[in-house]
Amino acid sequence: MCELMRKHTHADRIKTARCRQAGVLAGEEIDYLPIDFADRSQARLSQADRERLAAVPHHDWAQQWHDPAKSLVEQLKGELVRSLSGSDGVPGVRADMGVINCMTVFGAEFVVPAHTKPVINKYVPKDTLREFDVPDDISELGIMPRMVEHMQHHQGVLREAGLGETVSVFHCDQQGPFDVAAQARGHEIFVDLYDDPAFVHVLMDKCTDVYVKVSRLCKQVNGEPLDGGNAVHVWMKNGGVRMCGDSDILVLPEHYREFVLPYQARAFAAFGGGWLHYCGGWPGTGRSEGTHLHESYAQVEGLRGINWTTRNDWVAEMRKLRELGPVFIGGLMREPDESLESYFRRALSAYDRKAGLLFTSMHGTPDDPDLIMETWHRLQDERFG
In the chain, the N- to C-terminal Cα span, in Å, equals 41
Per the model's pLDDT, the better-predicted residue between 154 and 279 turns out to be: 154
Residues 6+ apart with CB under 8 A from 171: 94, 215, 218, 219, 222, 231, 232, 241, 242
Q: Percent of the chain, pLDDT > 90?
A: 89
Mean of the per-residue pLDDT values for the chain? 95
Cα(124)–Cα(86) distance, integer angstroms? 46
Cα(229)–Cα(227) distance, integer angstroms? 7
pTM: 0.96
Tens of pLDDT, residues 242-299: 999 999 999 999 999 999 999 999 999 999 999 999 987 665 666 678 889 999 999 9
Tens of pLDDT, residues 16-63: 999 999 999 999 999 999 999 998 888 899 999 999 999 999 999 999
| Per-residue pLDDT, 279 | 87
pLDDT band at 310 (very low <50, low <70, confident <90, very high): confident
pLDDT band at 69 (very low <50, low <70, confident <90, very high): very high
Nearest to 102 by CA among 47, 51, 54, 142: 142
**Domain ranges, ordered by start, for the chain:** 2-384
| Per-residue pLDDT, 377 | 97
pLDDT band at 362 (very low <50, low <70, confident <90, very high): low
Q: What are phi and psi of 351, to 5 degrees?
A: -125, 150
pLDDT of 364 strictly over 70: no
Nearest to 230 by CA among 166, 179, 298: 166
| Per-residue pLDDT, 289 | 81
Nearest to 58 by CA among 77, 82, 80: 77
| Per-residue pLDDT, 365 | 63
Cα(1)–Cα(56) distance, integer angstroms? 8
Residues 6+ apart with CB under 8 A from 369: 37, 39, 43, 44, 84, 85, 86, 87
Cα(56)–Cα(48) distance, integer angstroms? 13
| Per-residue pLDDT, 286 | 63
Neighbours of 27 (CB within 10 A): 13
| Per-residue pLDDT, 284 | 60
Q: H helices of 225-368, where?
A: 253-259, 261-269, 294-297, 314-324, 340-348
Cα(250)–Cα(85) distance, integer angstroms? 36
Enumerate the β-bridge partners of residue 115.
none
Nearest to 127 by CA among 202, 180, 69: 202
2-384 CATH pick, 3.20.20.210, 1.10.260.40, 1.20.120.160, 3.40.1710.10: 3.20.20.210
Cα(214)–Cα(114) distance, integer angstroms? 25
Pairing of strands 229-230, 235-236: antiparallel
Pairing of strands 92-93, 109-111: unpaired
The answer to whether the CB of 236 falls within 8 A of the CB of 304 is: yes
